A = this chain, B = another copy of it.
Amino acid sequence: MNKKQSIKISNAVIRRLPKYRRYLEDLLNKKIYRISSKDLSELIGFTASQIRQDLNNFGGFGQQGYGYNVKELYNEIGKILGLDSAYIVILVGVGNLGQALANYAHFYKTGFIVNAMFDINPKLIGLRINGVEVMDVEYLEEYLSQNDIDIGIICTNKESAQDIATRMCKGGVKGIWNFAPIDISVFGNTILESVHLSDSIHTLTYYINHPEDYNA
């Protein structure tokens, strides 16, 4: 077995990849096609050593004496992140945040296609958002059994979130993007990624009140 394949990539490394990709995109937009780990370090704020370590988890993308080819590295990281294919998305909970995500134009442009939306509120059911009709969440199972869904977004309240997650896992959804302010459990092969907005703002208020702990 290949050593590279057998060693698990740490979460810390993986969470830095999207950031590398953002900076490489900026460089491409500025028509900069070549960069050293040292120069990238100054832009992105990680050490050059960390950049080289991170990238070498996935292969030798650089060239001694030259640096990295921006376009190539951008594409490679995109592939590593799975951004070379599109994702079929459904969304449950069409409140303000759910609608905002459904409407997020950038989302479509970058390969996330919202194919269906569900809610429990009769006032919302039947509504069309961005050309997609809101269905009664009662039909979630039926929909999942008939469609191959990559990602399920949960924008319900915290009371419903685990129930919806369970039904998504049973329905074979590959990943759940959770915005409900609660920790949910997944099973089977489903991956969970949560965005805890309240935790984020509570971290902000902590630092506002304890600036001595803050690293700018």
Contact among B22, B101, B103 with A182 in the assembled complex (CB-CB below 8 Å):
B22
Smallest CB separation, A18 vs chain B (Å)? 4
Q: Is the CB of A204 within 8 A of B177?
A: yes
Q: Is the CB of A213 within 8 A of B177?
A: no
Chain A 172-216 per-residue mask, 1 if CB under 8 angstroms from chain B, else 0: 001101000111001001011101111111111111111111111
> How many A residues face the partner with a CB closer than 8 A?
62
Smallest CB separation, A8 vs chain B (Å)? 5
Is A82 interfacial (CB-CB < 8 Å)? yes
Is A104 interfacial (CB-CB < 8 Å)? yes
Q: Is the CB of A203 within 8 A of B193?
A: yes
Residue of B nearest to A186 (CB): B216
Binds B, one of A9-17, A34-42, A66-74, A113-121: A9-17
Q: Is the CB of A9 within 8 A of B213?
A: yes
Is A28 interfacial (CB-CB < 8 Å)? no
Contact among B186, B208, B210 with A150 in the assembled complex (CB-CB below 8 Å):
B208
Q: Is the CB of A205 within 8 A of B100?
A: no
Q: Contacts A19-B196, A22-B182 known; list 19 others, CB within 8 Å.
A: A8-B213, A14-B206, A15-B203, A22-B181, A22-B183, A81-B205, A81-B206, A82-B205, A82-B206, A82-B208, A96-B99, A96-B103, A112-B201, A150-B208, A151-B204, A174-B208, A177-B201, A192-B216, A193-B203
Is A127 interfacial (CB-CB < 8 Å)? no
